[in-house]
Amino acid sequence: MPLMPGRSSDKGGGIDNRADVPGKKAPMTAVQHPTHAAVLVEQDVVTHATARRALGALRIGFGLTFLWAFFDKLLALGYATGANPETGAVDRFGPAAWFNEGSPTFGFLSFGVSEDNWFHGFFTGIAGDAWADWLFMLGLAGIGVALVLGIGIRPAAAAGGLLYLMMYAASFPLENNPVIDDHLLGAISLAVFGATLAGDTWGFGRTWATSRIVRRFPFLR
């Protein structure tokens, strides 16, 4: 039977013609407008809690490694900087410390880069330059703080990955493996932190993600 105006069918599609009846108004549907854009968090990417905790512990470990390297070179604490490799004597807070005008890049880039390295001339050429020392030390401190606190993981991963890759290039030819060493693995690990937003677990990543500057510039996440 054909439908008449003002009637509805409860069969085959649920057609409702109440809006055609004179004096009747169509029902109104409220539209919800979110007040803030959805924020992607680590839990959206890594769904297992144990995996998130493992990433958080690894992230903090890497961060402390960067910070320790910074303070060792700043103060010559003797765990590389300030230690005599031949005698084993340690001169803490001595002339090798950066705050005593020592250079944090001179030793490694001058004597640690093999003459067979493809970039030997480049690395020895910048060894001890003030701009190289400042960039290196600021990088160690900034990357370390970001990883420990869990904020700015993406830029920290990018900067740390670049630093690792430069040290990887300076290490050629490798001693124990033709391709892989700890610098390359470090760069890959930092890339994983950035991709998984690993600063949310045991860090301030979620709070950082909702800040105004990160909402405006998401690459700072």
pLDDT tens-place string over residues 169-180? 999 999 999 999
> 90 pairs with which residues across the strands?
83
CA distances from 84 to 79, 80, 89, 179, 197 (A): 10, 9, 5, 30, 40
What pLDDT score was predicted for residue 23? 54
How confident is the model at residue 113, as a pLDDT?
A: 96
3-state secondary structure of 92: coil
Helix ranges (DSSP H) in 106-181:
106-111, 120-126, 130-149, 153-170
pLDDT tens digits for range 57-66: 999 999 999 9
Q: Is the pLDDT of residue 153 over 90?
A: yes
Measured in degrees and rounded to the nearest 5, phi and psi for residue 137 equal -70, -40
What is the predicted pLDDT for the residue at 36? 45
Quick: pLDDT tens for 48-92.
Answer: 999 999 999 999 999 999 999 999 999 999 998 988 877 878 899
Per-domain residue ranges of the chain: 38-220
